[in-house]
Structure 1
Amino acid sequence: MNAHRPPLQSLLPRALIVAMLAVGVGSVARDAIAQRPRGEQLSDLAVFNRVVVLVKEQYVEPARIEPREMLRAALKAVEKSVPEVLVEDVGDDAVKVFIGSAAGTEVRTFPTRDVTSLWEMSFRLASIFRFLETRFGADVDRREVEYAAVNGMLGKLDPHSTLLEPRFSQEMKMSTKGEFGGLGIVISIRDGGLTVISPIEGTPADAVGIKAQDKIVKIGEESTVNMGLDEAVERLRGKPGTPVTIWVMRKGWEESRRFDIVRAVIKVDAVSTERTGDFAYVKIKQFAGHVAEDVAAGIDKAARGKAPLRGVILDLRNNPGGLLEQAIEVSNLFLKDGVLVVTQEGQGVGSRREVKANPANQRVDLPVVVLVNGGSASASEIVAGALKNRGRGFIVGDQTFGKGSVQQLYDFPDTSALKLTIGQYLTPGDESIQSVGITPDLQLQPVLAADRENLNLLPDENTREEDLDRHLNDARTKTNKPAFELAYLAETVDTDEAERRAANAKFVDDFEIRLARRLLEQAPAGTDFRRTPLGRDGLRAIAATVVAQMRDEEEQRIALALGKIGVDWARAPSGSPSAGPIVVSVVDNKPALAGGTLSLTLEAKNNGSTPAFRVRGNTESTLGYLADREFLYGRLGPGEAKRFTVDVKIPRDLQGRRDVIRVALADDARSLGTVDVPVTIIGLDRPRFAYSLVVDDGNGKDTSGNGDGLLQVGERVALVVGVKNTGKGAAAEPTALLKNLGGAEVFIDVGRQRLDALAPGATGLARFSFKVTASPDQPAPGKVQLRLQVFDGVMGDYLAEKLTLPIKAPSPSTARSRAVVEASAAIPVLAAAEPQARVLGRLDAGARVESVGEANGFVRLDLGGGNLYGYVAGSAVGPARGKASTTAQGIPQGFSMVYGRDPPTIRFVDAAGAALGEVVTTDAATLELVAQIADDGAVADAYVFVGDQKVHYQRLASAGPTAATLRHSLALKPGVNVVTVVAREDDEFAQREVLTVYSTRGDPFADKKVVRH
């Protein structure tokens, strides 16, 4: 929940609106900081110190401010964002900071015992940053480092205080404001292209005829090929009234067409309304800047039907919140007097503020059913809590998220913004929902039972506020129980349909809506609700009858569905004796191959003399897709044993691992304890990629240049990338991407290439195309900056590297002449017609190749049927004594390509040097990690993560070849430890290898960090 503090003399509800502009923060020192221009040095802490001032003066719970721990957290965040940095604690007294550079690894120890205030924390961090910043490489973004430090520090306070980087800050403001300057289109990346999902009716894009599925190929003069979605949004949005030109390709068109569009204010529809029978259905997606107005208008519109409205269904499901002011105004639509919400900011006198309803703003007297679930948070909970606690509305659904804190936005000069928790809110009656949420009057439990593959009978453990690290607590919370509970047979919706429903504003009449309508239908027709109100108590009396009827209906439907898959889900007869002991044993848990199916079979046996009913088990796991799996046995007669098998599809990209699943067992009367099931996943061999590249600037179907293999302004070239799978596993869906990292000097026409599947050792060619241009009013560009990525869409393995290609001065075109030449000896083939060009491949002595021209004393060779060209010194070849000899793919006999960019290899070994398997099992508390790193060139450094914690950094070789050994003693937690070693040649070109270590020491579930969805 976001809020903005007004001038102290104002006590109006408007005081609680989110700050959209920079705000004063109330002290001479703070104003001085705000006026100071951002320094050039990281150690100036320009943003960090502003945040410290605000935390000191505004944070809701000063007792949580622990400067020493906040300093450590800031440094740990820097450590994660900068590979060359490692931070180690030296007890409670100091931190040891390591920084790697070309000169080697330097280390310095900084005391922390004396860090007892926020200012001492800032001074110490400034000292540490002065040590680091002079040793950072040119690739380290100083601003990003400071942002990381700020967020690391704030993470020690609570999960909602955070620094929003500029792009996220602007997005948040637009989403809460509910409008922005733009074209009025919903866009996404589909098949690598910037695609219009839908134009918004009545917007500029709609007016000029933009249609769904249109591909935007150019914005202004920039190609959108491999342009990120956030980059495209940044270019399309802007000040209303300003023009933007886009080029669009549509199915059936032979070429793209130009659209000149003037931006306008685009209003985001956060509210949708529908008349369903005699009831108004109102869906609030989030509490943006005009929601209350839209809710009132929507109900008014629904009331224009032939029959009068008899009630309102207010749908707040999956509404994450938004503006506190709008939550208050929506509540006021239904409540004419009394307290709507109480805010408690900090601990000081006068920090409590009651916001009361304005009778003039009350608009709706109709009965209200409010739909909520675990995704209803913050502002949604204010509305639901106000209507529930004031007896106005009947709440249906699931326990809400439990976010009862208030955040305020503070803008900074660099356009970042601090979102800081400044208070908590209380629902009427001074009841806090922090970490607890709003308990519905009617708790719903959807049941899926279409088949054993789509089985979900028991409640899933969804992530809520209480599961977040460092969540706030409040003694004013109350644990309530729902008045009614109802399990119902839910519709099975596949993933595609769920996505369509989420993206489409079209009304879907689901079970919850039908239930709400059924409750409201019981109110007598023709009732004047202004004179005879029907509130929460009245609806609760109606629900007693309706729920009893529906419980019988739904239990029969669920039992019938489960019966079809062989489960007797009968309830125990009233008064029946308790069953005897139930013994559960593991029948089958054979290892499963990644990409295959893990089958787990457990047997439950009733060793008692009376039947047991509704016997079941539910899984807990550290892996999401192994959690909340259900074993359903149903009724077990005396001495009866039943088996139940759960099949889990294992992703192909999962690393090999040993793990354990804990199954919690119960019947309809009691808990039956737990059973642990060992699980083994065998990982697939993985691909890895090496590449070579050459510029094709000849005159071909997609190229026009002088043919020397060098970039010049005005050329349209193909960047040909040879890709080789040097790994042990296949790449089923290899894809290569080329992205422009510069400006308008490069216009990419083709930037995405899907290659055929690559078996180990197999090769393929990706052919990108782009044009090199120069702006008439700008100096001629001297280089082209690109990023090349090669990845496998199935396994996820990838290679990435920044490319800097020089732009040369114009030179004469290659003299064209076709002939067959023969290599007089084994010779290198270069990627361009200059001696310092990279080696593309090699020709054996006597190899006969077709030549297509000469440039700068080099002969241009056709090496791939017109798809690949290379250059050899003219003196190294002569006329051939026969025809050119090629393979079926058009590659010359005797030519071998050199894949010169091959990332380092990483090999895990034991103390004796023997290779380890992908999973190591140990009962020790530590493991001595040994990784051998090799490369034919220099490997700058390597570092180690265990889970998400960086534990080791090591500077390696400044010159190649590299043969290094990395050693580090790892502290292990019980259960699975995922160890990742990264070896880098530079800031992007790197190799990652993963080793899974399973520790049998201790209980892996002791810290309760099981996965919750």
Structure 2
Amino acid sequence: MSSRLVYPSILGLLGLLLVLSLPGHLEADWFDKFNASSEKPVLELYRKVVKYVDENYVDPQLIDPKLMVIEALNAVQRSVPEVLSFATDDGNEVALTVNGKRRTFPLGELKGVEETIPLLSEAYRFLLDEIGSELESREELEYTLIRGLLSTLDPHSVLLTPEFYKEMQINTTGKFGGLGIVISIRDGKLTIMSPIDGTPAQRAGLQARDVIVKIEDESTINMSLTDAVGKMRGDPGTRITITVLREGWTEPKPITLVREIINIKSIQSRLLSDGILYLGIKNFQKQTASDLIAAALKAQKDSKLPLQGYLLDLRNNPGGLLDQAVEVSDAFLEDGVVVTTISSKNKYREQERAKKDQTLSRLPMIVLINGGSASGSEIVAGALKNNDRAMVLGSHSFGKGTVQTIVNLEEDIGLKLTIAKYLTPGNRSIQSVGIVPDIFLIRGMLGEDRIDLFWNEEKVQEEDLKRHFEREIPMTEEEKPRYTVTYLSEDKGKDEAEFRSESLAEDLEKTDQEVRIAKELLLAALGPEIDRKRMLERIGSSIEGVRKREDERISAELKIRGIDWSFAALPPKGTHSIKIVVTAPDPIQAGSEVLLQFQVTNQGKETIYQFRAISTSEFYVFDDHEILFGRIEPGKTAAQRLKVKIPQNAPTLLEEMALRFEDQFGTSYPEERVQLKVKEIGQPHFAYHLEVTDERGNGDGLVQLGEPLEVHLCVRNDGRGEAPEVVAALVNKSGRGVFLNRGRLSLGAIPIGQERCGEFDLTTQEGLKDQHFEFDIKIVDSNLGEFIQGNHRIDMLPPRSLKKMQAVVELRKGEQPVSLYSGADSRSQVLGTLPAGKRLRTKAEDGEFYKVVLPEGGVAFVPRTEAQPIKNGETGAAVKYTYITSPTIRFTELDPYRIVATSNFLLKGEVEALEPVRDLYLYCGERKVHYERFGERTKATFQSEVPLEEGSNRITVFARNADKVTGSTSIFLYQHRPTPITKTEKPLASDNPLVPIVEIQKN
């Protein structure tokens, strides 16, 4: 078993890793002691994880055995509905409730992480005894306990289960056995985005936009991207046939390919004008450094002009192999420290230094970074910046300054554990701060309904992650940006770096503004001394030129919108006095597009320049809006409107929108808060009925191998609002045994109380392993997010010999209704019932069943014991079909706007279903606070005391029926209404009816 130091990416389990060998081995005295206690140790994998955590974790002070037990059991309760886990406030005891049975576990004596093993082993046995049959697998339960334990450490210490461990290995090696295509799901179809040069796919003539309709004998309809990738990858030298449909072809064509080792290129290079070499690194994998050096030397040889400088693009590069990050840095450095790692308990301190044999020419250099640059990218950018080799341009990088090891726990399971911290040259930590650029770029956007001119990092960064490490030393002035430039984006929807791969096929200087700005500044930095500080001095006038150009573009665009964005040469001498009025509809209806109006009066004696408001709110609709007023002269008033679209599925809530006011000179204005009420509208609720038919087969209603089948689906809206756009999908769960010809239905809008129907088309075929096949039905409204999902199993049954029979049968007399079957076998699906005594026309019979024609159309089968032929008579009666639906949940005794004055609230409600309600569980935020089982009742009440924090609290209730079809609903409870805000006497003039919300006057 080997251990390796790694710098993982920000992309979670699928991230790329930086790897370095780790000296030493792990003692295992206590570990062996626990293993010897039984023939087959309980939680064997958990014990291995505990061993490595105990001996190697970077910060032993963060190892809290009590918290580890609490969070391990919390992880179980989040994944298993029947489990509730509560810890006492002092953390000395945790109570575990499973299906109503309660056990308590004392935590007071836990002193080390190894002491969690016997306690959690006992809890594990308790869980298996009570709900073992309900669990997906015992292994998954153990994985969940481990995930909970590791969650107490830091965001990068995680368990790598088989799927992710395999993907990680592919990412770090940069190669795999496959075909050489980039694929995606487009309009529900498995689509080739691009073939990779020099691969089987490219040689076979596959093209971008080709649709893969089959992989071997399996239809790709509704196949997940992960499944498709897994089926096309394989051992080099093996053959695979994919069937492809291309625009202009009349039918799909099968193409057989031989898998090869596919090498993923991590380097993109392009010679720009004026002798600037662009080098983009997507990630750090094997051969990245040598590929980069080769690309640079080739460009130097091919260029008609002498190379003038390097533009190294690390935007959205999540990391990779450590040795490659070091070698890339070394390629541009003559000497100096690249990175320093410090291990747990300071066991060792290791420096990676640049070697003297520099490979590449010493030319001026700019490194491009953004919030997606992490791990290896930060090492390279930090090494080149802090050794004064290159200027850094862009936005703050991700900010992860820790080191991980990858341990192979079992054949296909790994542990990623933080075991060290790293420092960039000068012993500078980038933890939670990132690499700060020398030239800070702000990408400005002026859209029709949205303005972004001021810095707001939308990407998730290290400081946003739970339990992240904090930087121990504050940032120095020297580390802060030297220059800041806001540029007006020419693209309305894409991140500059996100379409880098597209840009390389075109003209980078035209399509990527950040590259264009970087090149302009790099040319301005040319001079005798290739030193970062000197280069930053030389580009000063060019920076001002870029600022002026971009400011003029922004001002010109805003002038068209009636905003004077001119600026003052000098700050004002006096103080400002402003009056602010905000109006909005009261309430705001969910699903509506509304205008919020803002009016600012300058009551001071000085002109205010570039005045703006920036909003923040816990409700994303009201969050992060920029409202620009511009120049306001003394005594004048400026007004602006903000258009917001409230989602149709927005719940009733009272929310605050905080407004922060700024001007050109950063004048401090008090923050103000505005209350906004949102009123929900009725939401749809789906129920569905399905029937598997074989009318194109032998017509016996039973499924046999090779038979073409149709799955009739009807979706009904039982809710309180229309479903505007409903889509249904049938997802095959039986692999090659079922071929889908049509697996997706667009049902359109479904009004309240109405239904829409359609048909899926499939065939059973060789490869079906069992005497049944399975599929999922997924129904969703793409606008509202309302959905229902059900799993179905259809048994294969022997064929029946039907004879034609044109007659009328009368169902038996009695009080109980008669069941209608989908096939001539009582083991087939029950479609619904008809009242006793009703009459139906027959099509055929086989001695045990009548095949009857239903009044609404379609056919069904009735046992001969349940009906008898009659000479004639009127037929027709409404079938009571069997519908599948999730329980509905309603809350009672709520304030109209969910306002609560106390820190605890007794939440009451009702749950109802067509079938017995199995159980109900309730979350307050991420914390499960209630579980209740109902037995055989189809309607029940519930109540639970929920703890509330000040402000908005999201409460989500889940309920399951007997078949575990789950329904859920959420509400927001607003605890402690803020001090009432004075309202204006009359609203501003507007096209919409507005009620004034606030008038604020500040002096």
TM-score normalised by structure 2 residue count:
0.89
- The 2-side partners of 1:399 and 1:201 are apart by 34
The equivalent of 1:93 in structure 2 is: 92
- Aligned to 2:938, which of 962, 969, 975? 962
Task: Determine which of 119, 124, 129 is the counterpart of 2:124.
Answer: 129
Change beyond 3 A, Cα 1:930–1:579: same
1:294 alignment partner in structure 2 = 291
Cα-to-partner distance string for 1:903-951 (whole Å, 9 max, x where unaligned): 22222112xxxxx588522222221111212234322211001222211
Structure 1 pair 646–756 and aligned structure 2 pair: CA distance change class (3 A): closer
C-alpha separation in 1, matches of 2:753 and 2:87? 45
Tell me the equivalent position of 2:724. 732
Residue 889 of structure 2, aligned match among 897, 906, 913:
906
Deviation per residue, 1:735-793 (Å, 9 max, x gap): 22222323443333332222232111112223223333455xx9x73322222222222
Please state whether the residue corresponding to 2:618 is helix, strand or coil. Answer: coil
Equivalent position amino acid for 2:800 in 1: P
Q: Which residue does the alignment assign to 2:789? A: 800
**Aligned-residue offset at 1:608:** 1.2
Q: Does the 8 Å CA contact 1:450/1:561 hold for their aligned counterparts?
A: no
Change (3 A) 1:255 1:823: farther
Q: Does 1:154 align with 2:150?
A: yes
Instruction: Specify the SS of the correspondent of 1:195.
Output: strand
The aligned residue for residue 861 of structure 2 is 871
Contact 1:17 1:325 in 2 (8 A): no
Amino acid in the other structure paired with 1:307: L
Residue 978 of structure 1, CA deviation: 1.7
Contact 1:738/1:789 (<8 A) preserved: yes
Q: Which residue of 1 aligns with 2:956?
A: 980
Which residue in 2 is equivalent to 1:813? 801
Q: Does 1:723 align with 2:715?
A: yes
1:449 and 2:432 correspond: no
Q: Distance in 2 between matches of 1:197 and 1:374?
A: 26
**Where does residue 249 of structure 1 map in the other structure?**
245
Shift of the alpha carbon at 1:336?
Answer: 1.5
Query: Which residue among 831, 841, 849 is the counterpart of 1:840?
Result: 831
**1:852 Cα deviation after fit:** 2.6
1:491 aligns with 2:467: no
Aligned 8 A contact 1:242 1:263 in 2:
yes
> In structure 2, do the counterparts of structure 1 residues 308 and 632 end up closer, same or farther at CA, with 3 Å as the change threshold?
same
Task: Sort the Cα spacing of 1:446 and 1:895 in 2 relative to 1 into closer, same or farther, 3 A.
Answer: same
Equivalent pair of 2:948/2:975 in contact (CA under 8 Å) = yes
| Rounded Cα–Cα distance in structure 2 between residues aligned with 1:645 and 1:17 | 47
Describe the shift of the 1:828–1:128 C-alpha distance in structure 2 as closer, same or farther (beyond 3 A). closer
Pairwise CA RMSD: 3.1
Shift of 1:899: 3.3
1:12 is aligned to none
Q: Could you give the per-residue CA deviations for residues 438-469 of structure 1, whole angstroms, max 9, x where no partner exists? A: 12111122222354x13112211434222222
Q: For residue 90 of structure 1, report the CA deviation from its aligned partner.
A: 2.7
Question: Could you tell me whether the CA contact under 8 Å between 2:72 and 2:149 is conserved in 1?
Answer: yes
* 2:877 aligned residue: 894
1:667 lines up with 2:663 in the alignment:
yes
Q: Are 1:18 and 1:409, in contact at CA under 8 Å, matched by a contact in 2?
A: no
Q: Take 1:533 and 1:864, find their aligned partners in 2: how far apart are those partners?
A: 90
Larger mean CA deviation between 431-440 and 584-593 belongs to 584-593
Q: For residue 410 of structure 1, what is the aligned residue in structure 2?
A: 407
- How far the C-alpha of 1:883 sits from its partner, in A, is 8.6
Query: Could you tell me how far apart the structure 1 residues matched to 2:305 and 2:34 are?
Result: 59
Separation (CA, whole Å) in 1 of partners of 2:430 and 2:881: 64
Query: Cα deviation per residue 1:625-658 (whole Å; 9 max; x = unaligned)?
Result: 4321012111221122222211112233333322
Equivalent residues of 1:590, 1:599 under 8 A apart: no
Corresponding residue for 1:889? Answer: none
SS at match of 1:359: coil
Q: Is the 8 A contact 1:589 1:677 kept in 2?
A: no
Query: What is the DSSP-based 3-state SS (H/G/I as helix, E as strand, rest coil) of the residue aligned with 1:560?
Result: helix
> CA 1:693–1:33 in structure 2 vs 1: closer, same or farther (change >3 Å)?
farther
Corresponding position of 1:748: 740
Distance 1:720 1:377, change over 3 A: same
Partner of 1:368: 365
* Residue 622 (str. 1) matches residue 618 (str. 2): yes
Deviations along 1:645-686, whole A, 9 cap, x unmatched? Answer: 111122333333221111111223312011112122232322
What is aligned with 2:352?
355
What secondary structure does 2:357 align onto? helix
Aligned-partner residue type, residue 93 of structure 1:
N
Q: Which residue of 2 aligns with 1:561?
A: 557
Equivalence map 1:490-889=2 (5 Å): 490-494=489-493, 505-506=504-505, 508-509=508-509, 510-522=512-524, 532-574=528-570, 576-669=572-665, 670-698=667-695, 700=696, 704-705=697-698, 707-774=699-766, 781-808=770-797, 810-818=798-806, 827-835=818-826, 837-843=828-834, 850-863=841-854, 868-874=858-864, 876=867, 878=869, 881=872
The separation in 1 between residues aligned to 2:559 and 2:544, in whole angstroms, is: 22
Letter in 2 for 1:161: S
Shift of residue 321, structure 1, vs aligned partner: 1.7
What is the 5 A alignment of 1:258-297? 258-277=254-273, 278-297=275-294
> Is contact 2:178-2:233 (8 Å) kept?
yes
CA deviation after TM superposition for structure 1 residue 252, in Å: 4.3
Judged with a 3 Å threshold, the aligned counterparts in structure 2 of structure 1 residues 716 and 838 are, in CA distance, closer, same or farther, namely closer
Q: For residues 4 and 18 of structure 1, do their structure 2 counterparts lie closer, same or farther at Cα, with a shift above 3 Å needed?
A: farther
Distance 1:595 1:298, change over 3 A: farther
Identity percentage of aligned residues: 35
Cα shift readout 1:467-495 (whole Å, capped 9, x = no counterpart): 22211124345333211122222223235
CA–CA distance in structure 1, aligned partners of residues 408 and 783 of structure 2: 42
> In the aligned structure 1, how far is the partner of 2:796 from the partner of 2:29?
51
- The alignment partner of 1:673 has SS state of coil
1:408–1:477: structure 2 CA closer, same or farther, 3 Å change rule? farther
1:78-227 maps to which residues of 2 (within 5 A)?
Answer: 78-91=76-89, 92-100=91-99, 105-141=100-136, 142-227=138-223
CA contact (8 A) 2:17 2:320 kept: no
- Deviations 1:856-890 (CA, angstroms, capped at 9, x unpaired): 43222344887x32123446364675797xxxxxx
Amino acid at match of 1:107: R
SS at 1:660's partner residue? Answer: strand
User: SS of 1:135's equivalent?
Assistant: helix
Superposed displacement of residue 715, structure 1: 2.5
Matched residue type, 1:925 = S
Distance 1:828 1:39, change over 3 A: same
Q: Which residue of 2 aligns with 1:942?
A: 920
Instruction: Return the offset for 1:56.
Output: 1.2
Q: Which moved more, 1:942-951 or 1:893-902?
A: 893-902
Q: Secondary structure at the match of 2:130?
A: coil
Cα deviations by residue, 1:190-244 (Å, 9 ceiling, x for unpaired): 3333222222122112222222233323323333332221122111112222222
The whole-number CA distance in structure 1 between the counterparts of 2:837 and 2:44 is: 66
Deviating more after overlay: 588-597 vs 976-985: 588-597
Shift of 1:432: 0.9
Amino acid in structure 1 at the alignment position of 2:349: R
In structure 2, how many angstroms separate the alpha carbons of the residues matched to 1:513 and 1:864?
69
Q: Say if 1:812 and 1:845 are closer, same or farther in 2 by CA, change over 3 A.
A: closer
The alpha-carbon deviation at position 379 of structure 1 amounts to 1.1
Aligned to 1:332: 330
Distance 1:1003 1:243, change over 3 A: farther
Structure 2 stretches lacking a partner, 5+ long: 7-15, 981-1003
Q: TM-score, length-normalised on structure 1?
A: 0.89
Distance in 1 (CA, whole Å) between partners of 2:786 and 2:97 is 29
Residue in 1 aligned with 2:1000? Answer: none
Q: 1:677 to 1:153 in 2, by over 3 A?
A: same
1:812 alignment partner AA: R
Q: Take 2:163 and 2:386, find their aligned partners in 1: how far apart are those partners?
A: 39
**More moved, 237-246 vs 587-596:** 587-596
Q: Secondary structure at the match of 2:410?
A: coil
Q: How far apart are residue 374 of structure 1 and its match?
A: 1.9
Number of positions where the alignment pairs a residue of Structure 1 with one of Structure 2: 955
1:41-67, Cα deviation, whole Å (9 max, x unpaired) = xx8212221111111111111111111
